[in-house]
Amino acid sequence: MQKLIEQLEESHLAEVHLLMKDEWWCSDRTLDEVRAVVAGSNLTLAYLEPDESISAFVRVLTDGIFKAVLFDVIVRADYRDKGLGRKLVQQTVNHPMLVSVKSIELYCPDRIGGFYTSMGFDVSDSKLHRLQRG
């Protein structure tokens, strides 16, 4: 039985770092950067397996009223296609910290957009403007 946690210990951060190493958008993050982004997030959720390993992770930035953005939604490769990602996203958007937020957003490539639209997300017509450093 998986256990949902909100507080990550140092050993969990090391596991999240390893999960990120396998993802195209965050594979170059250092462990210190992972510590920093988790510490700077308003909400982090992870599923722990009975052996205490992390099988899924997400973090959120939010103002608590108007906007929340999900980042780093990751399901460990051996747990994919079993409903865990859906369960994690549902737990996240229904979390007490986010339940009253008017707009919950995330960025993802078109190839996985259907996963999110099947849970009620839609694709906005706004264009993302960004200033990228480094």
Inter-CA distances, 20 with 1, 8, 14, 28, 104, Å: 23, 15, 10, 8, 22
How many separate domains does the chain show? 1
Q: How confident is the model at residue 43 (pLDDT cuts 50, 70, 90)?
A: very high
Q: Could you tell me the two tokens for 110?
A: 């078109």
> Does residue 131 belong to any structural domain of this protein?
no
> Does residue 59 belong to any structural domain of this protein?
yes
Instruction: Output the pLDDT for position 132.
Output: 77
Arithmetic mean of pLDDT over the chain: 93
pLDDT, mean of residues 37-58: 97
Residue 115 or residue 38, greater confidence: 38
pLDDT, mean of residues 27-56: 96
Instruction: Output the pLDDT for position 31.
Output: 96
Domain that holds residue 101: 3-117
> Does residue 128 belong to any structural domain of this protein?
no
Count of residues making up the chain = 134
Contacts of 48 (CB under 8 A, 6+ apart): 2, 3, 4, 5, 54, 55
> Does residue 133 belong to any structural domain of this protein?
no
Q: Could you tell me the two tokens for 52?
A: 């205490």
Instruction: Output the pLDDT for position 79.
Output: 95
Q: How many CA atoms lie within 13 A of 77 on its CB side?
A: 6
pLDDT, mean of residues 2-15: 95
Q: Is the pLDDT of residue 129 over 90?
A: no
pTM of this structure: 0.90
> Does residue 122 belong to any structural domain of this protein?
no
Q: Identify the CATH number of the domain in which residue 92 sits.
A: 3.40.630.30
> Does residue 8 belong to any structural domain of this protein?
yes
Q: Is the pLDDT of residue 91 over 90?
A: yes
Q: Is the pLDDT of residue 134 over 80?
A: no
Instruction: Output the pLDDT for position 113.
Output: 85
> Does residue 45 belong to any structural domain of this protein?
yes
